[in-house]
Amino acid sequence: MDKEMSIKLIEKYIKEENMRKHCLAVGAIMKELASFLNENEEKWEIIGLLHDLDYAETKNNPEKHGLITAKILKDKVDSEIIEIIKSHNFENLNIVPNKKESYGLIASDALSGLIIATALVMPSKKLSEVEVKSVKKKFKQKDFARNVSREKIMFCEKLGIDKDKFFEIGIKGLQSISKELGL
């Protein structure tokens, strides 16, 4: 599995444009995070890209989210990657995340939503305008992007990264694909 194949799978299984962008966004943050941690950038990026392949089929069945992706990916990626993807739905699948890649995925999945929502309320609606301090402010406003779990963003601490640093990493990751995101 490589990035190109991951994007082909996104195009095959995800029809909704915003959901495709969400997967690209999580892939970009995961890659940036891996680079910061000296981990395997390609592996982390692929995990981010592939984590929500079954979203359309499972949005009303959260107890299946991750399990259908596991079937799609069987024989295509290492079982370790499948387990990590399943672990981002730890609450519904009764899994205790315990790998760095899982912590990164859970945190990046949530942070992507907060940063994109922040970009959208900027006068320019551009990621280039988003700074750490803007995300910090929005993180504190509970009513802003309410379905973004602040608790999940804080999984960055399990990687030894404080939230300000994580915001910086997330902004950098998303800015690197601003064109693809149209932001």
Residues that bind Fe ion (CB under 5 A): 52, 109
From CA 103, how far away is CA 109, in angstroms rounded?
10
Q: Which is nearer to Fe ion, 119 or 123 (CB)?
A: 119
164 by Cβ neighbours in 10 Å (0-12 / 13-18 / 19+) ranks as middle
Q: Which is nearer to Fe ion, 137 or 155 (CB)?
A: 155
To Fe ion, the closest distance from the beta carbon of 109 in angstroms equals 4
To Fe ion, the closest distance from the beta carbon of 164 in angstroms equals 23
To Fe ion, the closest distance from the beta carbon of 105 in angstroms equals 8
To Fe ion, the closest distance from the beta carbon of 117 in angstroms equals 14
Q: Which is nearer to Fe ion, 46 or 123 (CB)?
A: 46
Q: Which is nearer to Fe ion, 52 or 101 (CB)?
A: 52
To Fe ion, the closest distance from the beta carbon of 111 in angstroms equals 11
Q: DSSP for 71-129?
A: HHHTTTS-HHHHHHHHHTTHHHHT----SHHHHHHHHHHHHHHHHHHHHHTSTT--GGG
Q: Which is nearer to Fe ion, 92 or 131 (CB)?
A: 92
- The 3-class secondary structure across 12-63, one letter per residue, is HHCCCHHHHHHHHHHHHHHHHHHHHHCCCHHHHHHHHHHCCCCHHHHCCCHH
Q: Which is nearer to Fe ion, 22 or 138 (CB)?
A: 22
To Fe ion, the closest distance from the beta carbon of 110 in angstroms equals 8
Contacts of 69 (CB under 8 A, 6+ apart): 50, 51, 52, 53, 54, 82, 85, 86
